[in-house]
Amino acid sequence: MNYFEIFIWVLSFAIVAFLLFTVLNHRVDLSFVFGGAGKKKNGILILGLPDSGKTTIWAWFRYTLVLPTQTSMKVNEEEIPVHLMDKTVNVFLTDIPGNIKLRHQFIQYLPICKGIMFVVDSSKIDENYQEVSEYLYDVLTSTQVFEQKIPIAIICNKRDDEKSIKGTEIKLKIEDELNHLRSTRTLALDSHDDNGSYKDDIYLGIQDEKFEFLHIPNQVAFIETSFQSSLDKSPVLIGHSELSSWVIDRLE
């Protein structure tokens, strides 16, 4: 074996070792990266407008800490264990940026998605309910979300704020706006296949009846959350047990 062959062999070994280290270090499922029938379907998406608290919730599940965050312009994703009493599941938890130019990146994660957390700032819903509803409408009329009946948890976050309103009130407000959107949107979108996201023939709810979440194929839950200080002054996520239970139920 000459020096050139030795060099090529060492270089090839180094590349393979680097790729293996990168995959293991980032806990990436190879079937998810390279596609194919072996995809591990254990994904939960966290969606919502900017500053709704999406990344804070993602960080709580990842680190069990409240970390300082800012408006995110990148996807946060990692496979992590979720525990509740004697149950543990591994979930590929993905936080999608809420920026209007980036939020539709959620579509590429739908093939492994078992549930969607849609986070709402309950202290600002009176101001932004239209934008919240428009984004949620896009999610609900996504081909895979609709046809695969992907469950959705609407997370009414920041309930500790004095301006916040109850989850039951948020539900009615969003239903009213979705009813309005359903009647006014022409859905002037090209029909795409399952890789592309939307169909122009999806009708949310029942014809000639006011829109209600009960009328769509997806199970929709409303969960109230907030971050508060415990007795030892450390921050805790109020509603964490209900949220963890919802996640575990999706993956069992």
* pLDDT per residue as tens, the chain (252 positions): 665 555 565 556 666 555 554 444 444 443 444 344 445 789 999 999 999 999 999 999 998 877 666 677 889 999 999 999 889 999 999 999 999 999 999 999 999 999 999 999 999 999 999 999 999 999 999 999 999 999 999 999 999 999 999 999 999 999 999 999 998 875 444 444 445 455 557 889 999 899 999 999 999 999 999 987 666 666 788 898 999 999 999 998
Q: Is residue 8 part of a domain?
A: no
Asked if residue 217 is part of any domain, the answer here is: yes
User: Model pTM?
Assistant: 0.79
Q: Give the residue from 101, 89, 137, 109 showing the smallest Cα distance to 46.
A: 109
Q: What is the DSSP string of 144-183?
A: HHHHTT--EEEEEE-TTSTT---HHHHHHHHHHHHHHHHH
Residue 175 included in any domain:
yes
Range of the domain at 142: 41-251
| Number of structural domains found in the chain | 1
Residue 100 lies in a domain: yes
Q: Is residue 94 part of a domain?
A: yes
Q: Is residue 115 part of a domain?
A: yes
In a domain, 3, yes or no: no
- CATH number, domain of 89, equals 3.40.50.300
- The Cα-based distances of 28 to 57, 80, 90, 125, 248 in angstroms read 21, 11, 13, 36, 20
Decide: helix, strand or coil at residue 113. Answer: strand
Domain annotation covers residue 6: no
